[in-house]
Amino acid sequence: MASFFWSEKTTNRNALILRDFIIKTTNQILGIRTIVYGELPKTQGLIVANHRSYFDPIVIVSHIHAYPVGKKEVASWPLIGYLCKISGVIFVERECQDSRQKTCDMIKKTLNEGSSIINFPEGTTDILPTTLPFNYGSFKTATQIKAAIIPVAIDYKVKSDAFVNDDTFIPHFLKCFGKPITEIKITYFPPIYSNDAEFLLNTSKVMIDKELIRFRKDWDSEK
pLDDT the model gives residue 9: 47
| Domains with residue ranges and CATH for the chain | 9-221 (3.40.1130)
- Give the list of residues 6+ apart from residue 40 with CB closer than 8 angstroms, or none: 63, 64, 188
Q: Give the integer Cα–Cα distance in Å for 17 and 61.
A: 12
Local confidence band at 45 (pLDDT 50, 70, 90 cut-offs):
very high
pLDDT tens per residue, range 120-156: 999 889 999 999 999 998 899 889 888 999 999 999 9
Instruction: Reduce the DSSP state of residue 191 to 3 states and report it.
Output: coil
pLDDT digits (tens, 9 = 90+) for 95-112: 556 656 777 777 788 888
Q: Is the pLDDT of residue 19 over 80?
A: no
